Amino acid sequence: MTHAASVALFLEQILVLLVIGRAAGELLQRCGQPPVIGQILAGVVLGPSVFGALAPGVYGELFPRLPAQAAMLDAVSQLGILLLLLLTGMETDLSVFRRARRAALSISVSGILLPLGCGVALGYALPASLLPAPGTRLITALFLGTALAISSVKIVALVVRDLGFLRRTVGQVIIGAAILDDAIGWIIMSVIFGLALHGRVDLLALARSSVGTLLFLLLAFTVGRRLVFRIIRWSNDTLTSELASVSTILAIMGVAALITESIGVHFVLGAFIAGVLIGQSPILTRQLRAQVRGLIIALFMPVFFATAGLATDVRALGQPTLLLSTAGLILVASVGKFLGAFVGGRIGGLAYAECLAVGCGMNARGSTEIIVASVGLSIGALNRPLFSAIVAMAVVTTMVMPPTLRWALRRLPLGEEERARLEREEFEAESFLKRVERLLVAADETPSGQLALHFAGLLAGVRRITTTVLHLAEAPLGEPAAAVQPAARLVQRAVRAGDRASTGESEAVDIVTRAEPVAASAELIAAEARKGYGWLLLGREPVVHEGRLDAQIRRSALEFGGAFGIVIARGAQRARARAAVRRVLVPVRGTRFSREGAEVAVALAQALGARVTALYVAPAPRGRLPWRQRFGRAIAPTHTASAALREIVEMGEHYGIRVERRIRNEPAPEAIVREAQEGYELLVMGVSPRPGADLFFGEVTAHTLSQATCSLVLVSSEPVREPQPAEELAGG
């Protein structure tokens, strides 16, 4: 066969596997099953069992028994294994495991040991005719045990998510145990692979592989974690070519895979751990994650699983010995995993109904077992009949898992504590600061700039936000590193204060501080904005010029092109940015803008240890009010006022902050200023920029900005836009 003909045939194979695999996956998904099952079955249908039996001539032409042709398809399959494990690692949420670590640990350990032992025993009970070679029984038994022991975290997560239990306590326990299953399983399989290379129990090689694996994991989750983050940030912030960060992620995966291969364990461990580290990077934006996921899901996933099904010959299951062995494999896998998970759940303190759900949920194999079996087949630890038996076991257990888990989950009531946690998480998922993956701070050396640095550090610490600080100086600095040190120290002190007040997981917050010339601040912000930030916090003076917000502030916000905030230092904060803030005032109106301002106020109050007062201004005609109400006395709240204030009170309760409610019945500008004069050190306002040539947030904000004597933070979730010609004329 000529080179051109070989390439054309390879493309035909990929096209058939891709189209048929995707179509079958879509069909199975519509039937309530994971799409991976359809992709595996598509390969089985295209293989010798169905297509090869019905049309042997066409099958032989499409999938000829040529070593070079098979090697091309196998190369794609091996790359598919790497990419699938990369994706599995990226979608592994370690915070879920941390929240449910006690029960997840006992479930995973018990759920691995019991089926692993049963699988090894079954491997030793197999007749010699089913072994790949007479001397491979130990390796074959270990591969069988591993295939029976591991749950597929992708399948488990997919089913639990589809059933709506991903955020329930039992759902998080199941996902956490599956995550640990995957991690332990790939370590076990890597060690088994090292044994398979030597064909016998080589204690020296085993010790080298084990020590190498432990050292790799230790370095990966310490130095490697930070290194991966820095590489991804450098790629995102420096490279300008299309999809450069995706290439960087693939390169990190390849390097990690080669490292584990070099220490005598399989490359799958390196790909999986690389995915975990990449998934933890705070620079991994939703768009970047979607790009990597799209490449794998669209091409490599259907092709790989269809290729695995292609290697499955179900006709071999017609042999009584293999059929009996397959039935035993399915029985041992199901019962062993269920009992192991159930016992582990009881040890972890779960109730019987929860243990029942966990036992059902952990019994899905699917993608993980196919990868294990593919590796075993490629190194000769498994032959095609045993490979077919493992594929059959993976398909059966995965198809049985959704209906049994659905039945078990329906028996679980929702407790009050769990209900409160779900409501809090639902609120946080929709919050403004939760959507801010990176914070950009542009601050000069004025009091407002110093206060902006302080507040940025507090927000970064209390809400775990990666932050970049542009420290603006009056002129280009000869020694920027020395000049930036005071700003960096101020931010880091604030980060530590915010971290101590945070109720979330304590993780390092990455802060980058650079000294830049103030004259080019707008251009610097525009260049930095292209790297991907969710919010810009501005701290520079002058703030107000001739009664209007300074043109440089407007230009900076305009060049950023996204949500922004402005910090204005007044009162004690003009002398010292870290001056005590005991009371925070936030005006609310029930609008999205006021809610977002309130969220920032609550976050700052949480970090500062301050109290929050939510002020609702309900102006009414003075002539219709009794004289007591004309001076801001509170009256019975309206339905709108009660709803707006209650929302902020509940927001504070989510973070353990008590929010006081105040209502004033007088014109809004005077009411806010009058209230702010009653002992508040900070006023936070959610605002919206109005169309026009100037940066203008409305009369209420303008009056407050000119009259308030306390420090202010203006929060806008909308960008500043260039005015249209008609707007410019109107503004003029």
Strands (E), 658-701: 659-664, 682-687
Strands (E), 488-604: 511-517, 535-539, 544-545, 548-549, 564-568, 583-588
Does an H or E element contain 469, and which?
Answer: strand 466-473
Q: Are residues 222 and 130 in the same domain?
A: yes
Q: Are residues 177 and 292 in the same domain?
A: yes
Q: Are residues 348 and 439 in the same domain?
A: no
The last residue of a domain, from among 411, 438, 473: 411
Q: What span, in angstroms and rounded, lies between the C-alpha atoms of 477 and 485?
A: 13
Report if residue 30 sits inside a domain.
yes
Alpha-carbon distance values, 605 to 274, 600, 652, 673, 685 (Å) = 38, 8, 9, 20, 14
Q: Are residues 407 and 460 in the same domain?
A: no
Q: What span, in angstroms and rounded, lies between the C-alpha atoms of 698 and 690?
A: 7
CA angle in degrees (0–180, nearest 5) for 389-390-395 = 100
Q: What is the strand order of the sheet 438-443 is part of?
A: 511-517, 466-473, 438-443, 535-539, 564-568, 711-716, 682-687, 583-588, 611-617, 659-664
What average pLDDT is seen over the chain? 81
Burial of 202 (0-12, 13-18, 19+ CB in 10 A): middle
Beta-carbon count within 10 A of 646 CB: 15
Q: Are residues 611 and 558 in the same domain?
A: yes
Q: What span, in angstroms and rounded, lies between the C-alpha atoms of 731 and 260?
A: 65
Beta-carbon count within 10 A of 262 CB: 12
Alpha-carbon distance values, 297 to 21, 85, 155, 294, 398 (Å) = 11, 12, 14, 5, 19
394 neighbors 365 (Cβ within 8 angstroms)? yes
For residue range 344-362, list pLDDT tens digits in order.
989 888 888 888 988 888 8
Q: Between 515 and 27, where is the model more confident?
A: 27
Q: Are residues 451 and 401 in the same domain?
A: no
48 neighbors 325 (Cβ within 8 angstroms)? no
Whole-prediction pTM value? 0.70
35 neighbors 366 (Cβ within 8 angstroms)? no
The last residue of a domain, from among 362, 381, 411: 411
**Nearest 10 degrees: CA dihedral of 552, 558, 559, 561?**
150
Residue ranges making up the domain that contains 481: 429-731
- Residue closest to 147 by CA, chosen among 395, 318, 400, 320: 395
Report if residue 424 sits inside a domain.
no
Report if residue 681 sits inside a domain.
yes
Q: Is 621 helix (H, G, I), strand (E, B) or coil?
A: coil
Phi-psi region of 698 (alpha: psi -120 to 50; beta: other; left: phi over 0): left
**Residue 569: what pLDDT?**
95
Q: Are residues 228 and 90 in the same domain?
A: yes
565 neighbors 535 (Cβ within 8 angstroms)? yes
Q: Are residues 140 and 203 in the same domain?
A: yes
- Cβ contacts of 243 within 8 Å, gap of 6 or more: 291
Q: Are residues 370 and 475 in the same domain?
A: no
Report if residue 394 sits inside a domain.
yes
CATH number, position 31: 1.20.1530.20
Q: Are residues 677 and 724 in the same domain?
A: yes
| Average of per-residue pLDDT across 19-48 | 84
Q: What is the 3-state secondary structure (H, E, C) of 19-34?
A: HHHHHHHHHHHHCCCC
**Residue 596: what pLDDT?**
92
Q: Between 447 and 201, where is the model more confident?
A: 447
> What are 222-230's contacts with CB under 8 Å, separation 24+?
224/277, 225/277, 225/280, 228/252, 228/274, 228/277, 228/278, 228/281, 229/280, 229/281, 229/282, 229/283, 229/510
The proportion of the chain whose per-residue pLDDT surpasses 90, expressed as a percent, equals 17
Report if residue 572 sits inside a domain.
yes
In this predicted structure, the answer to whether residue 83 has a pLDDT above a threshold of 60 is yes
14 neighbors 76 (Cβ within 8 angstroms)? yes
The residues facing 686 across adjacent strands are 715
Q: Are residues 368 and 470 in the same domain?
A: no
Our count of domains for the chain comes to 2
Q: Between 492 and 606, where is the model more confident?
A: 606
For residue range 293-327, list pLDDT tens digits in order.
887 888 888 887 788 777 777 777 777 888 888 88
For residue range 619-634, list pLDDT tens digits in order.
655 444 444 444 444 4
Q: Tokens 């009992």 — which residue?
A: 339
| Average of per-residue pLDDT across 539-546 | 85
Q: Are residues 385 and 481 in the same domain?
A: no
359 neighbors 397 (Cβ within 8 angstroms)? no
For residue range 230-273, list pLDDT tens digits in order.
898 888 888 878 788 889 999 999 999 898 888 766 677 788 88
The residues facing 160 across adjacent strands are none
Pairing of the two strands 548-549 and 511-517 = unpaired
CA angle in degrees (0–180, nearest 5) for 57-61-66 = 125
Report if residue 592 sits inside a domain.
yes
In this predicted structure, the answer to whether residue 725 has a pLDDT above a threshold of 70 is no
The last residue of a domain, from among 360, 381, 411: 411
**Residue 490: what pLDDT?**
78
End-to-end CA distance of the chain: 77
Q: What span, in angstroms and rounded, lies between the C-alpha atoms of 530 and 184?
A: 40
Report if residue 706 sits inside a domain.
yes
Tell me the range of 84-93, 137-146, 166-175, 279-288 where mean pLDDT is highest: 137-146
Report if residue 472 sits inside a domain.
yes
State both tokens at 523: 């251009």
Backbone angles phi, psi at 104, to 5 degrees: -65, -40
- Residue closest to 463 by CA, chosen among 535, 403, 378, 391: 535
CATH number, position 633: 3.40.50.12370
